[in-house]
Structure 1
Amino acid sequence: MAIAQNTIALVFDYDQTLSPSYMQDDVVFPEFGINPESFWKKCNALVQDQQWDGELAYMQCLLDYLEMDQVSNARLTELGSNLSYFPGVPEMFDGIRDACLTDDHHAQDIRLEYYIVSSGLKALLEGSSIRNQFRAIYGCEFGEDKQGHIRFSKRTISHTTKTQYLFRINKGLLDYSEDVNDHLAPELRPIPFENMVYVGDGPTDVPCFTVMRKNGGNAIAVYNPEDPSRRSFRKCYQLCAKADRVKHIAPADYRQGSHLRLLLEQMVSEIADNILLRRTNEIQGGTVSAPHF
């Protein structure tokens, strides 16, 4: 028996997508006096000279730099309260719901959920001022020793493994105790890909863009309009005009009336209307008129 597929999911990358800054540059490096140039030089040496995985190199370097400070995940979560965002991010969550979901949609229990899938630190995102807007946040995680200090990489999320989390959302298997590889028929998946929108900023999001495109979902690549080098724009332009990975690119401005906000609202509205039409047809198709006298 099919389930009601009446949920819409907006899924965001974080760094350079919701925020103009990389989260570690934003709150971790200044707090602990870490020199970004030295940090990334050390990371790149592990990747290039010793063939480390990029995310593992990043996590190990953070551990090395933070070891003397005996940092806990709770401390990182506290720092997350100072994360910064592109214009309009804090206001967009309720704003998109209000603009797109009508009384008719609410009557059919059509709802909108938000998710983050990031290669950044989950602990920082858990402390962000927008945390409560998200149904689930996925990111890299540190494990702690018996004293409560971070000591090892517990989980890393690379640009290729990000796609696993799209399938978790698609199947409703949000908890790590649930195996995302379990077979689930399409009609039993609570959020079909055509009910999803993925927003990312560049080449690291290509696997997610590809999954969305192949499965009937929606995707938008965003760029920083304040980047004087235009590198951020060129990444998105290449994805759209040259690589055919996304149909839409937009400046990362989430304020009401912006190009990006109009795209998001149009996509969500169309998805909501399609769900409503399908639900209405199902109800009408299952209704048998009473005999008339």
Structure 2
Amino acid sequence: MTNFIQNTIALIYDFDGTLSPKPMQEYTVLPKVGIESNDFWAEVNSKFREEGGESMLIYMRLLLEKAEERHVHIGKSDFAELAKGVEYFPGVDDWIARINTFVEQETNGIVNVEHYIISAGLKEILEGTSIFDQFTNVFASEYYYDHHDVPKFPKQLITDTSKTQFIFRINKGKQNPSESINNHMPLYLRPIPFQNMIYIGDGETDVPSMTVVKANGGNSIAVYKQELDEMGVNKSLDMCKVLFKVGRVNFIAPADYSKNEILEERTKILLKSIITHIEYEKERFECKKENGLLDEQGAA
């Protein structure tokens, strides 16, 4: 290796509660099938307590069962069409463009920035959202479909803990699920070091991902809804405060992605810090290179 390769920043997002106020199913498939969201999630939790197993598998199975019971056809194309109803927090639509412009201007194009979603939700829905094409890659749960375009069973399942697999895939540049990430890869060969990552999530389900990123020198932000429950409590904010207090995140901020709001300002602070670190590592690499101090594999 004769060129410095670790000049890419990755912003990694959860989706439900992070980019969108409600679970994606509540904008799409649940209304289509005619199910109240509170009733659906209560049944998922009830079956989880009764049957055990994986709660994400239960919700994916229950969606299919409810559609079958009510004679509602939902194929892959239907999920994408329903996704047009997904709503976002303020500023999400042009957030990625603003972040990319900021990094471009700060580094004169020397540093790249990529954006990823890792979600336990359905990729079929995410593929139909207006922001899907803005992401370098989207990792989410998926169904297997038969020749009638009918979902039959989960093809890929992403849970709170299995999200961390995809963080390592981003880290190692092995983003195709068919590629093994178990083999050792020296840190200097990994295209996106953990130090170059910012994970953005909203709560307890993001703790494993936040922990992996932070423990390896990366950064994370917890975002919260600005709303109170019937008791006058902002549970979303309270959860973020806990994450901040125990060191899971660098910052917390309202889930408002609009220009010049708190989230943008705090994200830019982290970006500047990462950019400085990349510039340092790049100069150190060049110094060793010009003095013949890289090893045979190009390690600095």
Q: What range is the shorter-chain TM-score in?
A: over 0.9
Runs (4+) of structure 1 moved beyond 4 Å?
none
Q: State the SS of the aligned residue for 1:100.
A: helix
Whole-Å Cα distance in 1 between the matches of residues 234 and 39 of structure 2? 25
User: Counterparts of 1:103 and 1:235 in 2: how far apart (Å)?
Assistant: 33
1:233 and 2:237 are equivalent in the alignment: yes
From the superposition, tell whether residues 265 and 147 of structure 1 become closer, same or farther in structure 2 (CA, over 3 Å). Answer: same
Output the TM-score relative to the length of structure 1.
Answer: 0.92
- Aligned-partner Cα distance in 2 for 1:37–1:225: 20
5+ unaligned residues in a row in structure 1: which ranges? Answer: 289-293
- Pair 286,187 (structure 1): closer, same or farther in 2 beyond 3 Å: closer
Q: Which residue pairs with 1:183 in the alignment? A: 184
Question: Which residue in the other structure is 2:5 paired with?
Answer: 4
Shift of residue 154 of structure 1?
1.2
> Partner of 2:77 in structure 1?
74
How far does the alpha carbon of each residue in 1:97-156 deviate from its partner, in whole angstroms, 9 at most, with x for none?
2123327441x3x20000000111111111110011101101111111221111111111
1:151 counterpart letter in structure 2? K
Residues of 2 paired with 1:198 and 1:204: CA distance? 13
Q: Is contact 1:105–1:276 with CA below 8 Å preserved after alignment?
A: no
Q: Deviations over 1:35-87 (max 9, x none)?
A: 22332232122100111311011111111112322211121012112211000
- If the length of structure 2 is used for normalisation, what is the TM-score? 0.90
Indicate the residue corresponding to 2:143 in structure 1: 142
Report the equivalent of 1:253: 256
Report SS of the residue matched to 1:77. helix
1:101–1:269 contact (8 Å) kept in structure 2? no
Count how many residue pairs are aligned between Structure 1 and Structure 2.
285
In the other structure, the counterpart of 2:41 is: 40
User: Whole-Å Cα distance in 1 between the matches of residues 113 and 228 of structure 2?
Assistant: 31
Counterpart position of 1:291 = none
Contact kept, 8 Å, 2:203 with 2:222, in 1: the verdict is: yes
Q: SS state of the match for residue 273, structure 2?
A: helix
Which amino acid letter does the alignment assign opposite residue 6 of structure 2? Q
Aligned-residue sequence identity (percent) comes to 39
* Alignment gaps of 5+ in structure 2: 292-300
| CA–CA separation in structure 1 for the residues paired with 2:105 and 2:204 | 36
Tell me the amino acid that sits aligned with residue 243 of structure 2: L
Residue pair 2:17, 2:202 contacting (<8 A) in 1 also: yes
Shift of 1:29: 1.6
